[in-house]
Amino acid sequence: MRSLVAILSMTALAACNPNVEEQSGTGTAPLDRGEIEANDDLVQPVVIGESGPRFGACQATGLVRSVAGNGQLPVRAAPFSEAEQRDTLTNGDRVFVCNRSHDQSWFGVIYSDDRVITDACGVSSPISRRIRYDGPCASGWVASAFIQLRAAR
Burial of 49 (0-12, 13-18, 19+ CB in 10 A): buried
- Tell me the pLDDT tens digit for each residue of 64-83: 998 888 889 999 999 999 99
Query: Which domains does the chain show, CATH number per domain?
Result: 43-152 (2.30.30.40)
pLDDT value at residue 18:
42
Q: Which among 89, 106, 86 has a CA at the least distance from the CA of 97?
A: 106
pLDDT on residue 143: 95
144 contacts 108 by C-beta, under 8 angstroms: no
3, pLDDT greater than 90 = no
pTM: 0.71
pLDDT tens for 86-115 read 999 999 999 999 999 999 999 999 999 999
Predicted pLDDT at 131: 92
pLDDT for the residue 152 = 67
d(CA 85, CA 108): 14
**112-123 average pLDDT score:** 91
